[in-house]
């Protein structure tokens, strides 16, 4: 699952900070603590042509088929709706996507302007991505993560709870409609998921579906407690009880089937290669891709050894990493990240390495209990919502772990700094400040996995390169720790899905090559089973670095970085090979 959720994660005991802020958000208090979004108005529409008419009709059809995506994008006439996840509904969506793809591809290049031609290819790429996961990978039938805001739509109700797009009572009505959709959705999910199921996929479903039920029971009522409308509260209570029963039934069904786990979670070599081609436009032999990942891992390990000789002379690398991670942010990671965002924005503005197109800032909160499979992510309002803040979420340690494991799981200051770079400045948040101003509605709506995560991961190393914290060795180790984690994801994705690697072998690689603590290593290995595309962090980063090298070669080298960054961000978020072809004037040349 991508760490960014724009559309696109264990047991829980203390949600006080998050839900206090959620309650405050309903009154606007949290927004007063950070600057509100002041995004520019969307660009004016282009002249109406046959292509733009088709595009707009196709997007409306997409919104109807994917109402959760539509709501996340800010189309609130779809509030409360979930998609038709029945087998017939999924088959109908596959047929619809094929038809829309064929119609889009039928627009001849010669009849379209350059902008329209790029937009056509961008939309076709989105259809190809969706069709891979629905039809080729059969994700709705194999993987519970499909229903958790992973690739298309999801069960996450956060938009109704944390975005002040309407007064709280109106959002409560929308949330009640969402709750009323849950029993049908969970029944469809139970009919879809095939048994026996591989253990890591089943465990992902149990933790997430069970977490949602607990969230409905323990936390959501507090958010709406200030609503005094008796009828509304009664409707909420009734719908909430039914949703809790339905979600617990689904989690319980998986729980009962823990003894029946079996089968492989792996896509297999052929489908893994199809995933890269269909979802990211990358056609490269897996042996070659694996060597590229191994080379980048070796590059970062060598840099880590060098940094450690300065930070802790004479000590092993593992001790160096531990010392960096033991320097925890005062007050915890949420408080620490809030302070980091201010200094990062100032550093970014001072470096003049990329344009910051606005005054928007992001909030920081603790991740809700049903969405903690990733340590951090950011939820950014879509292009149809204006004046709303993005929220950067950080997951606490699983309380079922030992005290030592919980301590180790929490990031050190330098590690957290580059998570904040990744999620906010100049990572995902800055990228969406640019994409939300894109001339093309397609570019404002659809930002792909490798582009989004590749840019955010690229931003980590780029900020180190431009002098973040003036070359401090501990800071460099924090950057490299994040890079090594993504290197091992890259190699684990290929290994787990195309090489027969086991989860234990992946977990060992996270421990030995990324120097991960035991909890993180387990979590990351398990994620590789249900998120085979998590190699996109390093893959996207490497494609962007290669494009920067090639594009800037004739433009002054490093002097062109600001122009390069502004240019690449101007495309929205299509597959990186599309951006490369547009910027270089040709699809020729190596991606890596």
Torsion angle of C-alpha atoms 27, 31, 33, 34, degrees rounded to 10: 180
Write the pLDDT tens digit of every residue in 338-358: 999 999 999 999 999 999 998
pLDDT at 9 over 70: no
- CA-CA distance, 456 to 446, in Å (whole number)? 16
Write the pLDDT tens digit of every residue in 44-89: 777 889 999 999 999 999 999 999 999 999 999 999 999 999 999 9
Q: What is the structure's pLDDT at 42?
A: 62
- CA-CA distance, 150 to 530, in Å (whole number)? 10
**If you average pLDDT over residues 324-351, what whole number do you get?**
95
Q: What is the structure's pLDDT at 375?
A: 84
H or E, element range at 377: strand 376-379
Spatial strand order in the sheet of 4-5: 4-5, 376-379, 390-394, 362-366
DSSP-assigned letters across all residues of 452-474: HHHHHHHHHHHHHHTTGGGG-HH
Write the pLDDT tens digit of every residue in 510-528: 999 999 989 889 999 999 9
pLDDT band at 398 (very low <50, low <70, confident <90, very high): confident
Q: Considering only residues 161 and 34, tell me which one the structure prediction assigns the higher pLDDT.
A: 161
pLDDT at 322 over 60: yes
Name the maximum alpha-carbon separation found in the chain: 69
**If you average pLDDT over residues 191-216, what whole number do you get?**
96
- CA-CA distance, 157 to 146, in Å (whole number)? 15
CB 265 within 8 Å of CB 201 = yes
Q: Is 307 exposed, middle or buried (0-12, 13-18, 19+ CB in 10 A)?
A: buried
User: Three-state secondary structure along 38-61?
Assistant: CCCCCCCCCCCCHHHHHHHHHHHH
At a CB cut-off of 8 Å and minimum separation 6, what does 274 contact? 132, 136
Q: What is the structure's pLDDT at 254?
A: 97
**If you average pLDDT over residues 168-189, what whole number do you get?**
98
* Residue indicated by tokens 């062109």: 560
Task: Please say whether the dihedral angle defined by the alpha carbons of residues 395, 400, 406 and 409, taken in this order, is positive or negative.
Answer: negative
3-state secondary structure of 192: helix
* Residue indicated by tokens 């951090």: 376
**If you average pLDDT over residues 119-126, what whole number do you get?**
98
Smallest Cα–Cα separation from 435: which of 24, 49, 43?
43
- CA-CA distance, 171 to 80, in Å (whole number)? 9
| DSSP type of residue 148 | B
pLDDT at 301 over 90: yes
Q: What is the structure's pLDDT at 440?
A: 95
- CA-CA distance, 298 to 320, in Å (whole number)? 18
- The number of C-alpha atoms within 13 Å of 493 and in the hemisphere containing its C-beta is 27
Write the pLDDT tens digit of every residue in 485-504: 999 999 999 999 999 999 99
* Residue indicated by tokens 């891992």: 297
At a CB cut-off of 8 Å and minimum separation 6, what does 434 contact? 355, 357, 566, 569, 570
Long-range contacts for 336-345 (Cβ within 8 Å, ≥24 apart)? Answer: 336/413, 336/416, 337/364, 337/392, 337/394, 337/416, 337/419, 337/420, 338/364, 340/416, 340/417, 340/420, 341/392, 341/420, 341/424, 341/425, 344/417, 344/420, 344/421, 344/424, 344/425, 344/426, 344/463, 345/425
Backbone phi, psi, residue 573, to 5°: -170, 45
Mean pLDDT of the chain, nearest integer: 91
Q: What is the structure's pLDDT at 326?
A: 96
CB 379 within 8 Å of CB 393 = yes
Q: What percent of the chain has pLDDT over 70?
A: 92
CB 527 within 8 Å of CB 1 = yes
Q: What is the structure's pLDDT at 372?
A: 78
3-state secondary structure of 583: helix
Q: What is the structure's pLDDT at 240?
A: 98
CB 483 within 8 Å of CB 321 = no
Whether residue 426 has a cis bond before it, omega within 30° of 0: yes
Backbone phi, psi, residue 5, to 5°: -125, 110
Q: What is the structure's pLDDT at 151?
A: 67
pLDDT at 584 over 80: yes
- CA-CA distance, 308 to 285, in Å (whole number)? 35
pLDDT at 390 over 80: yes
- CA-CA distance, 535 to 539, in Å (whole number)? 6
Write the pLDDT tens digit of every residue in 270-279: 999 999 999 9
CB 500 within 8 Å of CB 541 = no
- CA-CA distance, 482 to 487, in Å (whole number)? 9
- CA-CA distance, 336 to 343, in Å (whole number)? 11
Where helices occur in 78-198 by DSSP H, the ranges are 87-105, 114-131, 139-142, 158-162, 168-192
Q: What is the structure's pLDDT at 262?
A: 94
Write the pLDDT tens digit of every residue in 540-576: 999 999 999 999 999 999 999 999 999 999 999 999 9
Write the pLDDT tens digit of every residue in 280-300: 999 999 999 999 999 999 999
Smallest Cα–Cα separation from 526: which of 512, 542, 510, 538?
510
Q: What is the structure's pLDDT at 479?
A: 98
Q: What is the structure's pLDDT at 38?
A: 41
């Amino acid at each position: 699952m991508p760490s960014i959720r724009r559309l696109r994660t264990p047991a829980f005991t203390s949600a006080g900070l998050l839900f206090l802020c959620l309650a405050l958000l309903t009154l606007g208090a949290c927004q007063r603590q950070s600057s509100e979004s002041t995004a520019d108005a969307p660009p004016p529409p282009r002249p109406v042509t046959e292509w733009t008419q088709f595009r707009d009709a196709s997007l409306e059809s997409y919104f109807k088929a994917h109402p959760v995506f539509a709501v996340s994008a800010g189309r609130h006439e779809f509030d409360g709706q979930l998609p038709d996840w029945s087998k017939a509904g999924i088959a109908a969506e596959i047929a619809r996507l094929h038809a829309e793809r064929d119609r889009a591809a039928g627009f001849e290049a010669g009849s379209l302007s350059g902008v329209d031609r790029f937009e056509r290819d961008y939309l076709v790429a989105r259809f190809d991505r969706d069709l891979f996961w629905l039809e080729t990978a059969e994700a709705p039938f194999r993987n519970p993560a499909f229903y958790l805001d992973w690739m298309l739509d999801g069960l996450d109700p956060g938009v109704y709870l944390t975005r002040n797009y309407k007064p709280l009572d109106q959002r409560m009505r929308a949330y009640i409609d969402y709750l009323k959709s849950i029993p049908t959705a969970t029944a469809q999910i139970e009919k879809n998921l095939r048994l026996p199921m591989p253990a890591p996929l089943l465990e992902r479903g149990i933790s997430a579906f069970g977490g949602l039920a607990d969230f409905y029971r323990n936390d959501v009522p507090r958010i709406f407690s200030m609503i005094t409308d008796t009828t509304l509260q009664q409707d909420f209570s009734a719908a909430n009880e039914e949703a809790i029963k339905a979600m617990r039934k689904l989690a319980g069904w998986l729980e009962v089937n823990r003894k029946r786990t079996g089968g492989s979670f792996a896509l297999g070599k052929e489908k893994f290669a199809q995933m890269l081609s269909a979802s990211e436009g990358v056609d490269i032999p897996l042996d070659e891709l694996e060597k590229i990942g191994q080379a980048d891992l070796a590059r970062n390990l060598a840099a880590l050894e060098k940094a450690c000789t300065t930070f802790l002379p004479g000590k092993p690398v593992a001790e160096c990493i531990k010392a960096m991670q033991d320097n925890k942010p005062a007050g915890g990671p949420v408080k620490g990240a809030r302070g980091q965002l201010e200094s990062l924005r100032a550093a970014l503005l001072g470096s003049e390495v990329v344009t910051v197109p606005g005054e928007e800032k992001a909030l920081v909160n603790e991740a809700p209990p049903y969405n903690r499979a990733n340590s951090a992510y950011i939820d950014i309002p879509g292009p149809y919502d204006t004046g709303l803040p993005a929220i950067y979420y950080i997951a606490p340690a699983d309380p079922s772990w030992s005290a030592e494991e919980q301590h180790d799981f929490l990031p050190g200051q330098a590690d957290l700094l580059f998570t904040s770079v990744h999620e906010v400045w100049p990572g995902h948040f800055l990228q969406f400040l640019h994409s939300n101003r894109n001339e093309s509605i397609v570019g404002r709506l659809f930002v792909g996995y490798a582009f989004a995560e590749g840019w955010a991961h690229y931003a980590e190393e780029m900020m180190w390169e431009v002098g973040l914290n003036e070359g401090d060795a501990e800071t460099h180790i924090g950057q490299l720790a994040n890079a090594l984690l993504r290197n091992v994801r890259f190699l684990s994705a290929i290994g787990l899905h195309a090489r027969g690697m086991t989860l234990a072998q992946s977990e060992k690689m996270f421990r030995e090559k990324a120097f991960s603590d035991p909890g993180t290593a387990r979590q990351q290995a398990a994620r590789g089973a249900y998120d085979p595309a998590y190699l996109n962090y390093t893959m996207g980063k490497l494609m962007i670095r290669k494009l920067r090298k090639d594009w800037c070669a004739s433009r002054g080298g490093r002097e062109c970085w600001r122009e390069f960054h502004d240019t690449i961000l101007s495309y929205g978020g299509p597959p990186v090979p599309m951006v490369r072809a547009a910027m270089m004037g040709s699809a020729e040349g190596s991606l890596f």
